[in-house]
Amino acid sequence: MRLHVEERGRGPVRIALIHGFLADGAAWTDVVAASDPERYAFLLVDLRGHGSSPRADRPRGERYDIASLAADLAETLPTGLDAIVGHSLGGRLLIDIVGPLRPAHAIYLDPGFGLKLPGRGLGARLFWAIPGLPRLLAWLYDRTDPATGPANVALAEAAHAAWDRSMVAEVLHDVAANPVTPSAPIVPSTLVLSDDAKLVVPRADIEQYERLGWTVTRFPGIRHDMAALDGARTFEVIQRAL
């Protein structure tokens, strides 16, 4: 599936930005605003079922699993970018596309490597079969953070209005059932961890990533939605990783 992409800036350094669950490309507004448009060109992509990208055609068997979401990105984004940045769900998908897309750098902002929800086995099957669970999860996730400021709250609310709620259980279950196992990076890779990182990256894995050659950067004093909470600092973290 070809995804909706908007380009910001006209510089020679080309960076793709992949948003997280429920968001869209506008989630990176403050990050882009903090950059020099004469040096950087950002590709803001909307994932399947988010923003202005197509929704999955259920009658045709299209899904919202990790494999489908990652395949969309591999089909849509160009190879050889200077960097691809993925936040949360976007970071989980990024690890599956660095091979075919071969960016010069891969930057993972609190990537969803180890979601704390039941993944496999009988307990997981029973959990995901709870009546009304998808509706409850959609309600729990469909929140905005006032700390991001009125402008970002408005952007988040617009993204939530466009989001296909039918994906919630499928995406979360697939992420939980397929945690990322630390391995050597295919391209130079930076793992950026906020104060909430323990929710998405198991603490026991962090030292392994460092031993395997990843650069691990702590981003203290900020929560998971770092790009909306402090776009300027988030851009600085991205810039240092290049």
Each residue of 124-180: pLDDT tens digit? 899 999 999 988 988 888 889 999 999 999 999 999 999 999 999 999 999 999 999
Confidence of residue 107 (pLDDT cuts 50, 70, 90): very high
Checking if the pLDDT of 117 tops 90, the result is no
CA distances 25 to 53, 121, 177, Å, are 10, 35, 26
- The answer to whether 15 and 37 have CB atoms below 8 angstroms apart is no
CA–CA dist 89, 55 (Å, integer)? 17
What is the total residue count of the chain? 242
- The answer to whether 104 and 128 have CB atoms below 8 angstroms apart is no
**What was the pLDDT predicted at 200?**
93
CA–CA dist 136, 131 (Å, integer)? 10
**What was the pLDDT predicted at 228?**
96
**What was the pLDDT predicted at 4?**
98
Checking if the pLDDT of 123 tops 90, the result is no
Lowest mean pLDDT among 106-115, 116-125, 178-187: 116-125
CA–CA dist 182, 189 (Å, integer)? 12
**What was the pLDDT predicted at 141?**
86
Please compute the mean of the pLDDT values over residues 201-217 and round it to a whole number. 95
Burial degree of 88 (CB within 10 A; 0-12, 13-18, 19+): buried
**What was the pLDDT predicted at 214?**
98
Tokens of 120: 């496999």
Q: What percent of the chain has pLDDT over 70?
A: 100
Cβ atoms within 10 Å of 9's Cβ, excluding its own = 18
**What was the pLDDT predicted at 143?**
86
Three-state DSSP class for residue 17 = strand
Better-scored residue on pLDDT, 231 or 118:
231
Lowest mean pLDDT among 57-66, 72-81, 114-123, 194-203: 114-123
User: What is the tens place of the pLDDT at every residue in 39-74?
Assistant: 999 999 999 999 999 999 999 999 999 999 999 999
**What was the pLDDT predicted at 142?**
86
Helices (H), the chain: 29-33, 66-76, 89-101, 122-128, 133-141, 150-162, 168-177, 203-211, 226-229, 231-241
Pairing of strands 5-8, 40-45: antiparallel
* Distance in Å from the first CA to the final CA of the chain: 29
CA–CA dist 208, 184 (Å, integer)? 9
Checking if the pLDDT of 116 tops 90, the result is no
**What was the pLDDT predicted at 155?**
96
Q: Which domains does the chain have, with CATH numbers?
A: 5-241 (3.40.50.1820)
Please compute the mean of the pLDDT values over residues 118-126 and round it to a whole number. 89
Mean pLDDT estimate for the chain: 95
Tokens of 149: 């400021």
